[in-house]
Amino acid sequence: MRSDGKTMTSPVFIGIDPTAGKRPMNYAVLDADLAPLVPDGAGTKDEVLAQVLAYPSALVAVDAPQSPNGGLMASDDYRARLSPPPAPGRWTRFKVCEYLLKQRGIGLYNTPNDQAALPGWMRLGFELYAALRAAGYERYQPGSRAPRQVLEVHPHACFTVLLGHLPTPKALLEGRLQRQLVLYRAGLAVPDPMAALEELTAHHLLSGSLDLPGLLSHDALDALAAAYTAYLAGTAPEQVTPIGDIDEGQIVLPIAPENLKTRYARRR
């Protein structure tokens, strides 16, 4: 039993943000009270999997495609059933979930039809899903009581629907402050990013000694957004929207279906 009275068998909610190359992947773990058990974890695929699989009950949200491109967007019959229907000859190389997010103004990758053309981080994502499935993880289904479930998320889309508009680029200081404030106001026990601004003084800027305590990296914030989406999916499934074709792979958004906008734009 942990010092807070909870056991390792209590369900947790995990977000994983795979990366390519030599950079470690980031992950975050939330408990049922939205307290970060791991707010800013990082490691190799095997190191992260070892940490994740130590929890017997978890919902894991991965920022990577969970399945190959099924070619549905190349089918005229399937395309005709979509709303809005795609223009002839366009979007044929996207998965359905990717197309539907793009139509809402939410930018994201597309999963290539050609497996040889997959970027490294997508291959790493497929490896993660395969390892999780081998460990008994099932594809997320709203209302399921399976102790181990996995779902696909896209942090940029998560922050977009939580804000109601496109966020400031995450590489900017304003973008990090904005994202952390979104999570803080959603109830996550992360530091209030507004407190970090107390250190933003002319002296610190001119002397090169600016330190913003408590402000998380954009990689950590992406992992926390994924974990928060897993939390909603597990505790309040009516507050999430799976978008896309269930057989080809859906992306789960942290917003109720009736609140999902048809279009998101940047505020001016």
pLDDT tens sequence across 23-77: 789 999 999 999 999 999 999 999 999 999 999 999 999 999 999 999 999 999 9
Q: Which residues have CB under 8 Å from 68's CB, separation 6+?
A: 111, 115, 126
Binning pLDDT at 50, 70 and 90, where does residue 8 land? Answer: low
Tell me the C-alpha distance between 91 and 88, whole Å.
9
pLDDT for the residue 2: 45
Tell me the C-alpha distance between 107 and 187, whole Å.
26
Tell me the C-alpha distance between 248 and 73, whole Å.
11
Helix (H) or strand (E) holding 139: strand 138-139
Q: Which CATH class is domain 12-68+112-255?
A: alpha beta
Tell me the C-alpha distance between 29 and 23, whole Å.
20
Tell me which DSSP letter residue 112 carries: -
| Residue 25 · residue 17 · CB < 8 Å | yes
Tell me the C-alpha distance between 142 and 83, whole Å.
23
Tell me the C-alpha distance between 213 and 197, whole Å.
9
Tell me the C-alpha distance between 197 and 211, whole Å.
10
Burial (CB count within 10 angstroms: exposed 0-12, middle 13-18, buried 19+), residue 61: buried
Listed by start position, the domains of the chain span 12-68+112-255, 72-102
Binning pLDDT at 50, 70 and 90, where does residue 268 land? Answer: confident
pLDDT tens sequence across 157-210: 999 999 999 999 999 989 999 999 999 999 999 999 888 776 676 656 665 666
Report CA Rg, the chain: 19
Q: Which of 226, 224, 229 is nearest to 37 (CA)?
A: 224
Binning pLDDT at 50, 70 and 90, where does residue 3 land? Answer: very low
